[in-house]
Amino acid sequence: MAQVTRPRELSSPERLQAFTDAVVAIALTLLILPLMESVGDLADEEGTTAEWFDRERFALLGFALSFLLIAVFWVHHHRLFRVVRRVDSGLLWLTVGWMFTIVWMPVATALSTQMHPDWAQPLVYIGTLLATSVMLLTARLHLRRHPDLHTMDRVESAAGIRSGAIVAGLFFLALIVALIAPGLGNLPLILMVASEPLQRLSTRRLERAATA
């Protein structure tokens, strides 16, 4: 009977990883859809390539930024899943939630680069990034509560949570700034440059604590 009622191991980490990879790869590639469409539109007006670059400057920037951000998120997700041994229901649905925010990214990017600017625009883009990082952070917290699911020791787990909290915290801060000063657009994301130094600071502290 044990097999009927086994509640924890719902999926192999490998297959969930492969599925996640496919979803991220598609979202990454669908970022070009608005660019493809604008090529078609300008072609109808007998436009040239130089004109297209001039007109789509902002869309190109948005495409490059979102590509980079999704790649960074994928790397973070990937690093976490390297130490996952088993997938329980909680981790499964947190991963589905994380994928939802990734699939939403091309829409957030299109809104961010194509719409007439308003207060909602930066909130949607930065809010999506916040949601992605919170999903991953929650997955890390879930793993800490269930040591049987992974191969991290306490120190590694704590380092990961700290690192995820720094990223989520900075996105939250950027969201607050965007809420106060919507005229800045997605500029508050510049706060993310603080992520790397803060991470390094946190690691150093953690190491000092461990050797103490």
Task: Identify the residue among 58, 100, 147, 183 touching its own copies (CB under 8 A).
Answer: 100
Report the first-to-last Cα separation within the chain, whole angstroms.
49
Task: Identify the residue among 159, 168, 177, 191 touching its own copies (CB under 8 A).
Answer: 159
Interactions with its own copies, residue window 160-189 (CB under 8 A): none
Interactions with its own copies, residue window 37-76 (CB under 8 A): 37, 39-40, 42-43, 46-53, 64, 67, 71, 74-75
Segment contacting its own copies by CB under 8 A, of 15-23, 132-140, 142-150, 186-194: 15-23
Phi, psi of 87 (to 5 degrees): -115, 120
Q: What is the largest CA-CA distance in the chain?
A: 70
Gap between the Cα atoms of 106 and 33, Å rounded: 9
Phi, psi of 128 (to 5 degrees): -65, -45
Q: How many residues bind its own copies (CB under 8 A)?
A: 76
Segment contacting its own copies by CB under 8 A, of 98-106, 129-137, 165-173, 185-193: 98-106
Please report the sign of the dihedral spanned by the C-alpha atoms of residue 150, residue 151, residue 156, residue 158.
positive
CB-CB neighbours of 5 under 10 Å: 6
| 86 interacts with its own copies by CB under 8 A | no
